[in-house]
Structure 1
Amino acid sequence: MTAVTVDAVEEVGTRTVALELRTPDGFDAEPGQFLLVRATVDGVEETGYYTLSSPDTEGTMEITVEYVPEGTLAPWLAERTPGDEIEIEGPFGDVRYTGDGPAVVLAEGPGIGPAVGIAERARGAGHDATVIFWGEDPPHRDRLDALDADGATVLVVGSLDEAVDTLVGAAEATVYVFGFESFVRDAKTVAEAAGVADVRAESFGPR
C-alpha cells in the first residue's frame, strides 16, 4: 500500500465528490485505470475500487466517489479534508486511454469520472471526443460544459437508443463503457448493434 495525501475534495454532483490526490513518486497511470483504496472505518478494514477521473497523473490525480449514507468506505472518503492521507494500490485495469485517436465514452453514475478524464485527454491531444451519459443531472457538469465548449460532443440521454446515431457516426473512434453491470451489458449491446467493433468496458459490479 502507498499513502497519498488528499489535496482537495469537491462536491461534483448529488452524493458525489471528487478527491484530488497528490501523485506519489514513480506513479503513472492512464485515464480509465483504477485504484484500490483501503481504510479502517469504525474499526473495520474496508476496501474499494475507484477509477481515475483525471486526464493524467502529473502532480495530482483524481477519483470520483459516489456514496450513500448507509455505505461505509465511500461516505468516509467523502468526509476527507485536505491534508488527510488515504492508502492506495495500483493502478489496475487494461481499459485505458493513452491519447491515441478519437474516443467515445458511454457512462452512468460515477462512470462519468473516467468519461470526462478520457475526453479531456483526447481533446488535449487534438482528437475528437464524445461523452454519452445515461441518466439525469450528471456529476462533473462544469467539466462537461467545458468539454462542450472545447468542441467535444456531450449527450445526456434517457435511453441508450438515443446514442445509436452518434455511435454509427463514430466508426473511427474507440468506444469505452463505464458503469454498473446492467448498464455495461446494455451499452455493449447498443454499441455492437451500431457496428462498433472495438468496445472496451469496465464494470463496477452489481448496483
Structure 2
Amino acid sequence: MDGTPVTVASVTDVGPDTVALEFETPAGFDALPGQFVLLRAEPDDEELARHYTLSSPSVGETFELTVGIDPDGDLSPWLAALEAGDTVHVEGPFGRITYDGEGDVVAVAGGPGVGAAVAIAEAAHEAGHDATVLYQAAEPAHTDRLEALEEAGATVVLLEEEADDELAEAVADHREAGQLYAFGFDDFVTAVAEAIEADGGDPDDALIENFG
C-alpha cells in the first residue's frame, strides 16, 4: 500500500457520529492547519483512500484528523473502530489553504469542516491573534474545544443546519474580522461565497476548501 505507515495513538468521540483520530507523527511529516492528507486503509482486504483535513492546530509528537462517521460508509465506521497501536497509511500533506500564525482569522465551517476551522482558530489564538468561528451543523462536534476557545476570548457562533439566512448574516457581521477561511461541502461553501458577495466583499479574497 502506498503512503507512509502511521500508528494510531487514540480514537476519541468528539460529537454525534464523529471521532478524532490521533496519530503518532512519522519522521519527516509536518503540516500547517488547513492542509489535508490522503489516508489509505484496507478494511475487508480492499484498499480505500479518502482525504481528511488536519484538525490539530500544529504537528508535534502526534497529529489529528476528525472523521464524520457514515453508518453505511465503507471506510469511516472502520476508522472509528480502530484502537491505539493500529496502523493506516497517509500521503501528504497537501493543500495551499493554510494558516501560518500570521493575523486574525474567521473560520467558517459546515458539518465536517469544523475540524479544520477549530484547528485554525486554536492556532491563531496560540499565536496571539483573534479568532472567530462560525459553525453550521445539525449536531455540533468538538464542542469542548469550541467552548475553550470562547472562554479564551474567541467569538463562536453556532448555527442550525437549515439556518441559511442566519449563516449569511453571520458571515456579513464577521467577515472583516480577519482572514476568512471556509470548509465544507459544495452547497455550504457556495452559500458562504454568495454571502460575502452579497455583503459587498470579494469571495476570491476568502480561502475556501470545498469537500465536494
Q: Classify the TM-score, shorter chain.
A: over 0.9
Tell me the C-alpha RMSD between the 2 structures. 1.4
Where does residue 69 of structure 2 map in the other structure?
67
| TM-score normalised by the chain length of structure 2 | 0.92
Structure showing the higher helix proportion among its residues: 2
Looking at structure 2, the residues matched to 189 and 166 of structure 1 have their Cα atoms a distance apart, in angstroms, of 10
| TM-score normalised by the chain length of structure 1 | 0.94
Contact 1:160 1:187 in 2 (8 A): no
- The secondary structure found in structure 2 opposite 1:12 is strand
1:188 aligns with 2:193: yes
1:132 aligns with 2:139: no
Deviation, 1:165, is 5.1
Structure 1: stretches of 5+ with no match in the other structure: none
1:55 aligns with 2:57: yes
* Alignment equivalent of 2:94, drawn from 88, 92, 95: 92
Contact 1:161 1:190 in 2 (8 A): no
Per-residue CA deviations over 1:75-94 (Å, capped at 9, x if unaligned) read 11111101111100000111
Aligned amino acid, residue 186 of structure 1: A
Contact 1:66 1:74 in 2 (8 A): yes
- The secondary structure found in structure 1 opposite 2:176 is coil
Q: % of aligned pairs identical?
A: 48
Where does residue 176 of structure 2 map in the other structure?
171
Looking at structure 2, the residues matched to 128 and 192 of structure 1 have their Cα atoms a distance apart, in angstroms, of 23
- The secondary structure found in structure 1 opposite 2:47 is strand
Structure 2: stretches of 5+ with no match in the other structure: none
Deviation, 1:34, is 0.3
Looking at structure 2, the residues matched to 196 and 146 of structure 1 have their Cα atoms a distance apart, in angstroms, of 30
Where does residue 162 of structure 1 map in the other structure?
166
Higher mean alpha-carbon deviation, 106-115 vs 162-171, is at: 162-171
- The secondary structure found in structure 2 opposite 1:100 is coil
Count of residue pairs brought into register by the alignment: 205
Deviation, 1:170, is 4.2
Deviation, 1:37, is 0.4
